[in-house]
Structure 1
Amino acid sequence: MYNSLVYLFFSQLAVGGLLSLVMVPHSAGRSFFRFCGILSLFLLLLGILAGPYSLSLLRGPFDGRSTSLLLLALSGVTALLFIAGVISERQSAQKPLLTVSCLLGLAGIFLDGYHSLNPSTPTWGQLLSALYFLVSAVFLGSVIYSMILGHWYLVVPSLPISPLKSLTFLMIASIVAKILLACITLYLFWIWGDVDQKTTLSSFTGIGGFFLWARVIFGFFGPLVVSLMTWETVKINSTQSATGLLYVATIFAIIGEILSKHIFHTKAMPI
């Protein structure tokens, strides 16, 4: 179970981080993009190598799971080229390479989510799972990379506030999307789910509900409140206060997403 949790958490964080980097202008400086690019590549490699899937899947034949792994590997290769472009100061190539790496990663995450549930799961259930993977990636990346960006205002005081505003807005949007998606998932699994899925939902009223409510507190309400507070501080250009709040959001995000992935792995419930 633990290698699956490591794979899900770090691969999604890496891809979400790449998406966040796309929204940051070149004015953040070479050191910022070099650090975050290397961090994203390291997290992606950690997720793939420590995960439950053998690299022999990349030799084919390709099914949904192996194709997902291939897309993530290609995302990592492109991220490496992006890092090389940053180090060599080839600015014109950086954004295109970063964008391609991000798109490959998002496609890999989506496909991974689609094929993560039992093959007998209806198409709507697989789509909900795929969207759950995508939104989780965006959420993790926007929270943690916003916190890193907040620190960079100490390094580059002239950096405009707009990138932090964009990432904070992305964080709020992803949290709202997570809440809506979880509500839709619970409703559809209760209405159209099979006997096992309805039994799983019923178990949440007992001891199994501990993990669900902990997930709601740490993964939904906590980050939402902190992100709204962060937005208010960003609007008045208080980057130090925003960074402090983003530390709190990072703690909430890590705990909430670990709980979420535990529920997904043990209950096959993408919430």
Structure 2
Amino acid sequence: MIGTVAESFFYNLAFGVSFFTFLIPTRSTGAGLMKVMSTISGIALLFGVILHLMYAPTSSIQAILSFAALLSFIFIYVLHTDEKHWSMWLMYALHTLALGFIFIPFYNGDLKAMAQMMTGSLLLGNITFAMVLGHWYLVTPKLSEKPLLQAVMLSWPLLVVKTVLSMFAFFKHADMFKEGTTEGGGYAFNWMMFIMRVGWGYVVIAIMSYFSWRLVKMRSIQSATGILYAQTFFILVGEIISIYFFHSFGALI
């Protein structure tokens, strides 16, 4: 079970971070930031593939799609220049589609699970991406705040969708949260996990995101990055709880 949770988390991180690389203005940042993001995504994907191959053959659909995405990350790392060549957009499309399609076999075509996990993946990736981007302003101090502002603002619709999906799931699995229940990990455990998931994964993220946005607008980038660093911790905890609950008890929270 721990292996499945870890595998799901690494795939989510790889997909989420790499998805938002279209926001990187490489003419201003240089190709270095794209290489950093590709490395983060590639390493996360590599861990996911290793865990997958512990129980599945290399000929599985998930493994083949993973290898295709890994290859695109390698090409981006080696060949990306300060100008976004059409071939790099092709590599972006390749890893985005490959990692996106992995959600289908991984969640057995369950549309609700796919929607919940893909939204969580994008939210996790968005905040991680924004945190790394914030650090890059130390490398290029004159970089416009626009890409970081866009990244922060894109987290808002994702947070709304994810919260709504979790609330629907809560009412669907309401029996897990009734006193005396034997479902899941028991009454106290279920509530503790749910409160941590909502409190840290949604409420704290929403509040911190607002302050990040305000600070970026003021061009207080270092302060905003500090908040994004804390957000990364909270979203990691929230998403790991969500992944654990689904794979352990079949509940999408």
Secondary structure in 2 matching 1:155:
coil
Cα distance between partner residues in 2 of 1:4 and 1:18: 21
2:167 equivalent to 1:166: no
Q: For residues 234-269 of structure 1, what are the alpha-carbon distances to aligned partners after superposition, in whole Å with 9 as ceiling and x for unaligned?
A: 122221111011011011111111111121121111
Deviation of residue 44 (structure 1)? Answer: 0.4
| Equivalent-residue separation in structure 2 for 1:134 and 1:95 (angstroms) | 22
C-alpha RMSD of matched pairs (Å): 2.1
Letter in 1 for 2:176: T
1:150–1:239 contact (8 Å) kept in structure 2:
yes
Tell me the equivalent position of 1:62: none
Deviates more, 1:99-108 or 1:254-263: 99-108
Distance 2:64 2:252 in 1: 23
Q: Structure 1 residue 184: deviation in Å?
A: 2.3
CA distance in 2, matches of 1:177, 1:268: 20
Structure 2 counterpart of 1:33:
34
Cross-structure match for 2:16: 16
Residue 8 of structure 1, CA deviation: 1.0
Instruction: Describe the superposition over 1:181-226 as per-residue Cα deviations: whole angstroms up to 9, x where unpaired.
Output: 1112334x35xxxxxxx64354488212111111111111111111
1:155-179: CA deviation from partner (whole Å, max 9, x where unpaired): 0112221111111112222211110
Taking structure 1 as reference, are residues 269 and 168 closer, same or farther at Cα in structure 2, changes over 3 Å only? same
2: CA distance between counterparts of 1:231 and 1:157?
Answer: 18
**Does the residue aligned with 2:138 lie in a helix, a strand or coil?**
helix
Q: For 1:1-271, what aligned pairs fall within 5 Å after superposition?
A: 1-26=1-26, 27-51=28-52, 54-56=55-57, 58-59=58-59, 66-86=60-80, 91-92=84-85, 93-115=87-109, 126-187=110-171, 189=172, 199-200=175-176, 202=178, 203=181, 206-207=187-188, 208-271=190-253
- Could you tell me how far apart the structure 2 residues matched to 1:37 and 1:161 are? 22
- TM-score normalized by the length of structure 1: 0.83
Distance 1:140 1:109 in 2: 15
CA distance in 2, matches of 1:48, 1:176: 31
Amino acid aligned to 2:71: V
* Partner Cα distance (2:103, 2:177) in 1: 25
Q: Distance in 1 between matches of 2:215 and 2:83?
A: 35
- Counterpart-to-counterpart distance in 2, 1:85 and 1:235: 34
Identity score, percent: 24
Aligned residue pairs, count: 245
Deviation at 1:110, TM superposition (A): 4.6
Q: Residue type of the partner of 2:31?
A: R
Unaligned stretches of 5+ residues in structure 2? none
Q: Distance in 2 between matches of 1:256 and 1:165?
A: 23
Deviations 1:2-34 (A, max 9, x none): 111111111101110111112212122121111
Amino acid of the structure 1 residue aligned with 2:101:
A
Give the gaps of 5 or more residues in structure 1: 60-65, 116-125, 191-197
Residues 175 and 220 in structure 1, CA contact (< 8 A), matched pair in contact too:
yes
Amino acid at match of 1:144: T
Contact 1:110 1:131 in 2 (8 A): no
Distance 2:200 2:219 in 1: 27
Distance, in Å, in 2 between the alignment partners of 1:230 and 1:103 is 30
Match of 1:120 in 2: none
Deviations along 1:101-142, one digit per CA (max 9) or x if unpaired, are 122212223542344xxxxxxxxxx21101011111101111
1:90 Cα offset (Å): 7.2
In structure 1, what is the Cα distance between the partners aligned to 2:210 and 2:228? 11
Per-residue deviation at 1:79?
Answer: 1.7
Confirm or deny: 8 A CA contact 2:72 2:94 kept in the other structure. Answer: yes
